[in-house]
Structure 1
Amino acid sequence: MMDGDREMRSRTSLKRKKPPWLLRGRQALKKSRVAGALASACVQRLYWLRWRAGTAARARRLGFSPDRTYWVSPADIVYCTPLEWNPFWHEGEVRGGDWDVTDIRFEDLDVFQAMRQRWIEGKDWSETECYRRAASKIESGRAAWGCASLAGLDAKCQALDRLFDEIRQQGYKSQMELGGGGRMSLRAVDEVSVNVDRDGKMLFNNSVHRLGIAKLLSVEKIPVRVTVRHSAHVQRERSRLRDRIAGGAASGRKEGATRAA
C-alpha cells in the first residue's frame, strides 16, 4: 500500500514537472512581453514630451495655452476644414491664408450619411454607399477606411455599432472620463478636433465618428480641442484682450483719483 502511494506520488510529480526548455521559453516570453510593454510606455512618454514641448512653445508665442478642452454643442460644428491637420503635432498653431474657406458641410460627408442610414434608418452597413465604396477599394488591393481586408472592415463596423450603443446608453464621456491615462497621456487629448476660422467659428477637423454619433443622438455638449486657429481671429482676440486690460487699468486709475479727492 505504501509502495503504491509512493509510486502514485512519483508519477504525479513527474507529470507536473515541466521540461527545462519549456520553462526557459516561458521565461523568455514573459521577459519579452515585459520589455515590449516597457518599450511601448517609453515611446508613448517620448511622444507626450514632444507634444508637451511643442504646446509650451506655442503658448509662449501666443500668450495663452492651447492645452485646453472646450465643451461645445455639436450643432455648432457645421462645416469642415478642407485640409485635416494631425491634432498631436499641430495643436495650437496659428495660420493665415484661405485654408478656412470651405463649403463642405459635415452632414454631407459620406461617412456621416452611412452612420445615419445605419443607426437612424436601420440599414445594414453593406447597404450604404460608404461601405460599398470602401469594400470595392479593398477588393482592388487598396486600403480603405483604415482597413486592408473585408474582415477588418466588418470588424470596424461592429466596433462602431458598439460605440454608438455605449454612448446612447451611458452618455458621451471625455477621454479623461474613459480612463485616458491622466494628464501625461496623449489619449487624454484625443477628443474631437476642430479648427477656428477667421470669424471665430469652429470647423470640423478630426474624429468624424464621435462627432457624428453626438449629432445623431442630439448630445447637448461634447469636449473638443482646437488644433489650428486662423491668424485673423487670434489678432482680433489679442486686440480685445489689450482693450479689456487697458480699460480695467483706466477704470482703476479713475477710481483711485476719486477716492483721493
Structure 2
Amino acid sequence: MRRQIRELGRRSKRAIEYGLARIPGVKRVYWRYAPVYYRWKLREQIGHDTPLDPIRVLSVNPDQIIRFTGRTDAAGYRYQDLGTVMEGEWDTQPTQLIEDTVIYRSFVDRYRRDQPWEETELFAKLLSGDLTKVDMNTESAETLREELERYDDLYQMLQQTQYKTQQELRRETGIRFDNRVGLLDRLTDEITVDVGRDGELLFVDGRHRLCLAKLLGLSTIPAVVLVRHAEWLPKREAALNNGTHEHRDHPDIAPYLRST
C-alpha cells in the first residue's frame, strides 16, 4: 500500500516534468539541468561519499549478465528504482538463467540454426497467447512474423555497426518515442541491471537486445544500474579508495579508477 501511495506521488511529479519537457522553449533548459538535478538527488539517496554517478551508462560485457535479479517485479519499477540501495536476500535467490528463456532459445534457432520464425518456440507461444507481456501484434501468423522480422533488422544492424545507446539511435535516426520524454525514462530504456552484494550483474530488462548481443559475441553493451546491494557499496569503496585488486575491473568501478 505504501509503495502504491508513493507511486501516485511520483506519477504526479512525473506528469509535471513531462509537461515541462514537451514545451519547446523549456525543453532545452530541461535537458541542461535535469542530469545535474538527478545526479544530486540520487547521490543523496545513495548516501556514500565515494565517486558514483547514478545516471551513468556503463559499458558491460553481455556475458557477465547470466541470470535475472531476484527482486519482485523489478522490470515494472525501473524508473522508481534507479539509484536505489537495497538490503536483503534478493540477490541470492535462485532465478532463471538468460540462456534458459524462450527468447534466447528462439534467437539461437533463428540466427544460429537459420530456422524460420514460424518454427521457433517464441512464435508458437506468442501466437497461442502463452506470452502476454510482449507488445506485439499477434492477430495472425503473418502479422506476427512481420513483427518478429524487426529483430532480423536489429540483428543485422548490430552485426554491421557498433551497439549504440537508445539516445544515440534517436539522434541518428530521428525516431521519436512520445512515451520516453524525461531523463529517467530514457535511461531506463537501456538494458538495465542490478548489482548484487559480490558485484554480480543481475538482469532486469532489455532481454531482446541482451540476447542478440550475446549471440553476436559483442564485447560490451550499454547498461544502466538500477539497484545496488547495500553490501556491495563497502566493497566498491575499498576498491576505489584503497587500491585493492579485487573488483577493479568491475564495470561499476573501473570507469571511476580511470578518471582519477
Q: For the superposition of Structure 1 and Structure 2, which TM-score range results when normalised by the shorter chain?
A: 0.5 to 0.7
> Is the contact between residue 174 and residue 191 of structure 1 (CA under 8 Å) also seen in structure 2?
yes
Q: Give the SS at the match of 1:205.
A: strand
Q: Which amino acid aligns with 2:66?
A: V
For 1:133, the equivalent position in structure 2 comes to 125
Assess, with a 3 A threshold, how the Cα gap between structure 1 residues 99 and 188 changes in structure 2: closer, same or farther. closer
1:149 aligns with 2:138: yes
> Is the contact between residue 197 and residue 203 of structure 1 (CA under 8 Å) also seen in structure 2?
yes
For 1:208, the equivalent position in structure 2 comes to 207
The whole-number CA distance in structure 1 between the counterparts of 2:164 and 2:82 is 21
Deviation at 1:82, TM superposition (A): 3.6
> Is the contact between residue 93 and residue 227 of structure 1 (CA under 8 Å) also seen in structure 2?
yes
1:57 aligns with 2:41: yes
Assess, with a 3 A threshold, how the Cα gap between structure 1 residues 136 and 55 changes in structure 2: closer, same or farther. farther
The whole-number CA distance in structure 1 between the counterparts of 2:187 and 2:202 is 21
- Tell me the percent identity: 28
Assess, with a 3 A threshold, how the Cα gap between structure 1 residues 144 and 65 changes in structure 2: closer, same or farther. closer
> Is the contact between residue 137 and residue 144 of structure 1 (CA under 8 Å) also seen in structure 2?
no
Normalising to structure 2: TM-score of the pair? 0.65
Structure 2 portions without partners, runs of 5+: 1-18, 175-180, 244-260
1:107 aligns with 2:95: no
> Is the contact between residue 187 and residue 224 of structure 2 (CA under 8 Å) also seen in structure 1?
no
Assess, with a 3 A threshold, how the Cα gap between structure 1 residues 113 and 71 changes in structure 2: closer, same or farther. same
Normalising to structure 1: TM-score of the pair? 0.65
For 1:92, the equivalent position in structure 2 comes to 83
Write out aligned runs for 1:73-92 (5 A).
73-83=61-71, 84-85=74-75, 86-92=77-83
Assess, with a 3 A threshold, how the Cα gap between structure 1 residues 204 and 188 changes in structure 2: closer, same or farther. closer
Q: Which amino acid aligns with 2:117?
A: W
Higher percent of residues as helix: 1
For 1:161, the equivalent position in structure 2 comes to 152
Deviation at 1:203, TM superposition (A): 0.9
